[in-house]
Every structure is written in structure tokens, then in C-alpha cells.
Amino acid sequence: MSDVHYPAADPIRQLTNGQTAEDVSLEISSAWSSAMVDSAAALCDSPPIPEDTEDSVWDLETCILWIDVRKYWIEDSVEAEESFAKGLTLVSPEEQASLRRFHFRRDAAEHLASLLLQHLVICQLADVSWVDSRVSRTLMGRPFHEQARFDYNVSHHSGRVAIGVRVADQRHIGIDVVDPEDATKNWKPGWIDDFHDIFTKSEYAQILRDGKKEDGITKRRLFTYWALKEAYTKATGIGLVTDLKTIEFSKVEDVDINEKPYTRSTICKVNNELIDWRFEIFALEDGLVLASATTNEGLFTETATKVKEIDFDYITKLAVQYHLAIPLTGDVV
């Protein structure tokens, strides 16, 4: 693909003209959108963007992609404004409007990343253009694509956003990502006793097997169990309104990014009945815990689910490849 030079605002001119961050964001977005349209037109006859086959995830039964939006859109800087404005041009006017309900940039950034990951997956697996990769929702609010013969699920926490994919008709996947340290940073001492409505006695015993300590290891164990329960309820569509103590996990190993970043020893009983599901736990950077859940039915391989971090440039290039041409409408955040 030929190099494409997208417009960027001049920070000195912004200051001398007294523009607000919103003015800068809208200006950059409008210019970026025009550049995207020109780039898409130029690429209509170009070959697809090559991808390193070693890192390819699109031919796997299950995969997980994730992005760290803290690197792009959260910090208070001209560069972050530029990057966020570019991201806005990759979603539809309706989706841009949905971002207006967020009062904080982190929340808006996580939601934008979620939308971009969904469009990326739909384009790749449903073989539709970027503008046709529309996201629908079930009555319970679960996102899906109407023409898809695959399922996906999205989770976000603390500036990290992930999407799990199961390539099979009528087979669902659920994921949950959590940063234990960030989740507990404002909790008061004694928080370990506040989960008796969520965990069974057996689960509590496993979480506290090194003693009743509110330390890093205990936090990681507790939120690993939590992530597994949430992943399962999201995959089944029952949500957290169910009695979570009816879902009991055992053989949940500790995971550490430096030692054992992945495990699949976990088993689960629902209403005391063993279920035939695949549960996987991953340790990502900065202590992040990611859990996935999907039924074993229809799976043909024992290979671990591929987890891949992607960046904003990767999404942008694929959006251009799929001939994006979406105008920006109005201020968002």
C-alpha cells in the first residue's frame, strides 16, 4: 500500500487562535475524513494489506484482539486529540452520536475502541465493506452482526478493550478483562468479605488459600474467578442478574505474565452439573487478567486461543482497505 499522509493540526496555530480542544477535534476529524475518502478511492484496485501469517488470527476457530487506548486517546495532549478525532471518522454518525453520552474521555475512548474492534471483526469475517459492518443488538443489548456466522463479545476495563471471536454458527463466546489493582485502588480494608453473594464457600477457600490477605495475589485470584463468571454469563446471555453462586469454578490456576501467561485447567459446574465448556485465562501486561468462555461443542482443535494486541494504525489501514467513506457530524466529547 502506498504511503498516505493524513492532515494534522499545528499546535502553535491552535494556541494563537484560541481554539478549544473540541474545535481542534472537529477540524482534524473533517480533514482526516477527506483524506480517508481519497485514500479509499486510490486503493480500490490495490491488493489487500498483507499480514504476517505467523500472527494471523482470522483463520482460527477462536481469537481475542485487544487494544490499549491509554496509548492513543486518554492523555490531555494535542496528539491524543488528533488520534481521537481520527478514530471518530471510522464510525457512523449514529455511533458518533452515541459517544456524546459519556462525560469522561476514558469512557468515550473505551466505547470508541469497542466499536472499532467490532467493525474490524465484522469486515474480516463477514466479508462486507466497512460502512456495511453495522452492529445490531439483541433485546438484552448484546451486539451482533445480522449476516454473521460467527459470534463475538467485547469487554473493557481501565483503558484496555478486548474482543473475543468464535467462528462457528450458533456457538457463542464471552470474555471479560479486568485490572485487579485498578479495580481495588479506592477500596477500603475488609473488601475481601464483600463477595459472599458471588462466590461459593469452595471458591472462597481457593481464593484465600494463602490466608486472608488483601494482597496482590489474592486480588488476582478473586478477579480471575470474577472474570470467569462474567465471561460465562456473557456467553450464555443470562447476564449478572443470575445467582452467581450457582456457577462454581474449580481448578483455577494462578497466572502470571512472566511465568505462566495462560491456563486451561479450569472446570465449571452450573447448578452442581458439570458443563462441557472451554475456559481460558490469560495474563496480559500490567497485571491485566482476561478470561474467555465458549462451549466445547463444535471445536475441532485443542490449540490455545490466540491473543493479539493490535494498534490504532492496524485498524485504520484495514478501514481504508475496506473503502471507508464516513463523514463526521458535529462535536462528540
Residue 88 · residue 113 · CB < 8 Å: no
237 in any annotated domain: no
Q: What share of the chain is helix, strand, coil (3-state, %, to 5)?
A: 40, 20, 40
**pLDDT for the residue 289:** 96
CA distances from residue 64 to 159, 250, 316, 333 in whole angstroms, order as listed: 16, 23, 18, 29
pTM for this prediction: 0.82
DSSP state of 264: -
Quote the domain boundaries for residue 37.
1-58+69-134+310-333
196 in any annotated domain: no
Rounded-to-integer distance, Cα 209 and Cα 110, Å: 35
Q: Which pLDDT tens digits describe the chain residue by residue (333 residues)?
A: 333 333 333 333 343 455 555 555 555 445 445 545 554 444 444 444 444 444 578 878 999 999 999 888 877 788 888 888 889 989 988 999 998 889 888 899 999 999 999 999 999 888 888 888 888 877 767 777 887 789 999 999 999 999 999 988 778 999 999 999 999 988 888 888 888 889 999 999 999 988 877 788 889 999 999 999 999 999 998 766 678 999 999 999 998 888 888 999 999 999 999 999 999 999 998 889 999 999 998 888 778 899 999 999 899 888 887 755 444 444 444
Rounded-to-integer distance, Cα 331 and Cα 317, Å: 24
Residue whose cell numbers read 455511533: 95
Domain count, the chain: 1
286 in any annotated domain: no
**pLDDT for the residue 143:** 77
Which of 145, 175, 159 has its CA nearest to residue 235? 175
Biggest alpha carbon distance in the chain?
68
Query: How far out from the chain centre does Cα 187 lie?
Result: 25
Residue whose cell numbers read 499545528: 10
91 in any annotated domain: yes
